[in-house]
Amino acid sequence: MREINVQEVEKTVYDLFQSACCEIGEDVLHLLRERQKTEESPFGREVLRQLIENDELAAARHMPICQDTGMAVIFMEVGQDVHFTGGDVNAAIEEGVRRAYRDGCFRASVLSPLERVNTKDNTPAIVHMRIVPGDKVTLTAAPKGFGSENMSKLWMLTPSQGVEGVKNAIVETVRLAGGNPCPPVVVGVGIGGTAEVAMLMAKHSLTRECGTPSDDPMLAEMERELLERINSLGIGPQGLGGRTTALAVHIEQMPTHIAGLPVAVNMQCHAARHKTATI
């Protein structure tokens, strides 16, 4: 049994969000630069140039990549041989988020859904915790803005709609979203499970290194085909036209019920922010 003080969890959460809100990953920057070279639309090329410049300045000055610093989403893998000491680990996570958003002067965007009263510190965080073998804790911070989150969609297809129905649903989600999710987007997809698990897989897929294909050859081929179809829609960077509507499509799947075919699409804007650390 390995003991981990919750203060270490709090500090890790703090550091991850301080970094994630200001520093875009090299994986995303690489794809933006590559797409700028190949984009046919003059407007599209200029938008991509501005996005790259914005990302570079944000990192250099430690300023938010976007004014929407999102809801604090955390994927947490906890080794079954870990014992947390020193207090409530959930409270430690919330305090890490609270301090990171306060010290970074990041926008407090979280409020009660019906009364619309702001919590003033961007808490509560959205925490997805999973028990895994071992004695380590891995935390992934993924600030999620709502321009893209609002364009996400769950499709409860019938099995008879098959693979083509799945592909059509994904492309249609992007088409209907248009320029609203601030393209170029990363399209996260979850197929199978139940309604809520499909949505969780779609969100989790966005934490993969951007553009890295699935380990499953069938899914990797589907990702490639869908990316091509999506970039043929003509939506383009920031919806101004062009062939760079998406940087990547990431798909996760799991078995589902014989009567169902859930397909979840979680849209991610060009600020595909995620940072990971292991304790």
Domain CATH number, residue 227: 3.30.1330
Looking at the structure, tell me whether residues 267 and 211 fall in a common domain: yes
Looking at the structure, tell me whether residues 138 and 99 fall in a common domain: yes
The residue among 144, 177, 194 that closes a domain is: 144
pLDDT value at position 174? 98
**Percentage of the chain surpassing pLDDT 70?**
100
184 preceded by cis ω (within 30°)?
yes
Task: Using a cut of 0.95, tell me whether the model's pTM lies above it.
Answer: no
Looking at the structure, tell me whether residues 155 and 140 fall in a common domain: no
pLDDT grade for 61, boundaries at 50, 70 and 90: very high
pLDDT value at position 265? 98
pLDDT value at position 181? 96
- Let me know: does 251 contact 214? Beta carbons within 8 Å: yes
pLDDT grade for 128, boundaries at 50, 70 and 90: very high
Looking at the structure, tell me whether residues 94 and 199 fall in a common domain: no
Domain hosting 232: range is: 147-271
